[in-house]
Structure 1
Amino acid sequence: MHVFMDTAPGGEPGREDGELLVRAAMERVTEGAPPLPDLVPVAVVQGRRRRSRARAAVGAGAVAVVALGTLGAALPMWGGGGEPVREGSVASSTVSRAPSPLRTPVHIEPSPGELSMADLPAAERARQEQFQQQAAALLDELLPQAFGPVRPVDLAVDRYQGGKDGPVFPLTFSVRPKAAPGEAHDPPCRSVPEKHLRCKEVTTPDGITVRSVSVSENGRKEARTVTDTVLTFERGRSRVTLSVEGDDEAMVSAPVTSERLLAVVQDKRFLELVAYADAKPMEPKEHVVRGG
């Protein structure tokens, strides 16, 4: 069940490192070749990976349990238009479920000068942490068991991590307000076989056009590859990104196919989370990267 605190957003971390991440990843992926605009979505993922390593960096203490069914009686659900919805919602169909355990967040130290969720006002931080708990529980249910458990990362609301006692699989679930019309547009969806890059677009039965981009990297020491996959689509006033990354140190791809991710973005409970984040943004407006 997905319930949220209706606290006005504020104090979003003004992270302005997107352009640097894209530039660094583009140089890595396109070494020896002219830059290709098709690489941008996965380049963002690969750039994040360099800063998202965290193995078992968790706080001490027992895992708490929250009675989400009780909260559901007092707090509204949010539908596609950002208005409260109760009847016929996921909340009404899951009240009888057992309470979901709170997932201890993975801790990642911010880079020098970088803000994290700890810098948010208390009410906004609580709202974002609650959203992360809801998202992590749902993604854990929808993704393969081998990927889990899915846990939130305390650096930013769009950051999560899968894997237990082995490879670490960074996961991004972002609902970011779109740039103003005319400031940004998607490049053509083209596959680049020589760069091990595959791009395809699919329109779901609900009319959502989803772009899927996968890229594979060769290992330096072994003849193995690790594959990252990122799905993007627009919903309301936001651009949604759902991506999974492999463990580049262990050279193990995440056990998630693009088809499985596509199934996730079609789940009505996932779209309900998207609708809430679109109506009550938790991330800064998307940053436009100009030039190659």
Structure 2
Amino acid sequence: MHVFMDPSPGGEPGREDEELLLRTAMERATDGAPPLPDLVPGALVRGRRRRARARAAIGAGAAALLALGVFGAALPVWGGGTERVRDWSAASRTTPVPTPLDTARPGLRLPVHIEPEPGESSMADLSETELSRQTVFQNEAAGVLEALLPEAVGPVRRTDLTVSRYQGGSDGRVFPVVFSVRPSATSEAEPPCLDVPVKHYRCDEVSLPGGIMAQAITAAGNAKGGRTITGVTVRFGYGHSRVTLTVGGDDEAMVSAPVTADDLLAVARDARFMELVAYADERPMEAKEDSVRGG
């Protein structure tokens, strides 16, 4: 048994002796060396920089999620609303409830809910990634349309049925809006414009920037009690897609769409609208159209 404080003659040194020898050796080795720097200020600076970089990364990630690297403009910010919600045909059903704000994205409205018909799919059937992409596109499109269309059409809100369907109107009015960029099954041009006065159908061919030829159509819609309502459509080919912009009338209140063909052509000539068209043509969100086009 070793006695650490009083080693036997000729034996190993005790623990205190070992520690003394070790301290003496370290002091001799560090004689003349400069004093160690104070590490606290540097650590604080590095900590602040790390926090700043973390906040910047979080902000950049959120911005990338909202913009998806596509849109340069910020998403529109809307206020609340309690307008009546109604679908665009008697066959489809909607939930007539107020439209609260989306708490996950402050300032943005929740979509108008349109119940799909039996056998019909909706945006709820999309994957999480694709739903996020189409939601961002719809929010951006709704803001652009609301800014460019006549004030009487607004506010313009997206729906949760399909990416191409929106809804405008206030004070009890409901105006269906369609903004579709659908991959085309054919490269053929649109059929020539034909006016049908007896059916209150007028079609004009108009040139858009870039040499794009568009058709502006004004047509009578539903008839009730000897009255008819009209809707307006502008359609044209772009890239590999067929673009359609339509504002319909309120068929329940029998009120025509508060737009003219010139109003929709002004939208189609705007760079903000065409930016959306270019994105949807490059990254399609709708199914390819049938090979036979309707009138």
Match for 1:259 among 254, 258, 262?
262
The CA RMSD over aligned residues, in Å, is 2.7
Question: SS state of the match for residue 214, structure 2?
Answer: strand
Question: Matched residues in 1 for 2:67 and 2:241: separation?
Answer: 19
State yes or no: 1:169 paired with 2:232.
no
Q: Counterpart in 2 of 1:189?
A: 193
User: Aligned AA for 2:197?
Assistant: P
Whether the 8 Å contact between 1:200 and 1:212 is mirrored in structure 2 is yes
Given candidates 157, 160, 169, the residue that maps to 2:163 is 157
Note if contact 2:204-2:217 (Cα within 8 Å) is conserved in structure 1. yes
In the TM superposition, what whole-angstrom CA distance separates every residue of 1:54-99 from its partner, at most 9, and x where no partner exists?
474456x5444858xxxxxxxxxxxxxxxxxxxxxxxxxxxxxxxx
Q: State the SS of the aligned residue for 1:219.
A: strand
Supply the AA of the counterpart residue of 2:144: L
2:150 paired with 1:126 = no
Compute the displacement of 1:120 (Å): 0.4
The residue aligned with 1:208 is 212
Selected match of 2:110 from 104, 107, 118: 104
Offset at residue 204 of structure 1 (A): 2.1
1:5 matched to 2:68? The reply is yes
Asked if structure 2 preserves the Cα contact closer than 8 Å seen for 1:58 and 1:104, the reply is: no
- Once residues 294 and 177 of structure 2 are traced to their aligned partners in structure 1, the CA distance between those partners, rounded to angstroms, is 27
The aligned length equals 215
Distance 1:125 1:244, change over 3 A: same
Where do 1:249-288 residues align within 5 Å?
Answer: 249-288=252-291
Structure 2 CA distance, aligned partners of 1:218 and 1:177? 29
Do the aligned partners of residues 264 and 285 (structure 1) sit closer, same or farther apart at CA in structure 2, a change above 3 Å counting?
same
- TM-score normalised according to structure 1 size: 0.67
Is residue 165–residue 178 contact of structure 2 (8 Å, CA) maintained in 1? yes
Overall identity of the aligned pairs, in %: 53
Task: Point out where structure 1 has 5 or more consecutive residues left out of the alignment.
Answer: 8-47, 68-100
| Residue 288 of structure 2 corresponds to residue 225 of structure 1 | no
After TM superposition, give the deviation of residue 136 of structure 1 in Å: 0.3
Bigger drift between 211-220 and 228-237 goes to 211-220
Greater radius of gyration (CA):
2
Residue 243 of structure 1 pairs with residue 249 of structure 2: no
| Equivalent residues of 1:58, 1:107 under 8 A apart | no
Change (3 A) 1:217 1:286: closer
- Asked if 1 retains the 8 angstrom alpha-carbon contact of 2:95 and 2:113, the reply is no
Q: Which structure exhibits the higher relative contact order, with contacts defined as CA atoms closer than 8 Å and separated by 6 or more residues?
A: 1
Report the AA paired with residue 137 of structure 1.
G
Relative to structure 1, the CA distance from residue 283 to residue 191 in structure 2 (aligned partners, 3 Å threshold; closer, same or farther) is same
Q: Distance in 2 between matches of 1:111 and 1:244?
A: 22
Native 8 Å contact 1:176 1:281 kept in 2: yes
Alignment-derived partner of residue 79 in structure 2 = none
Deviation of 1:211 after TM superposition, in Å, equals: 0.4
**Does residue 144 of the first structure (1) align with residue 144 of the second (2)?**
no
CA distance in 1, matches of 2:276, 2:233: 18
The separation in 1 between residues aligned to 2:161 and 2:257, in whole angstroms, is 21
Q: Which runs of 5+ in 2 are unaligned?
A: 1-62, 71-87
Question: Any idea what SS the aligned residue of 2:195 has?
Answer: coil
1:82 — aligned with what?
Answer: none
Deviations 1:125-175 (A, max 9, x none): 011011000000111111111111000010000000001231210000000
Structure 2 partner of 1:73? none
3-state SS of 1:171 partner: strand
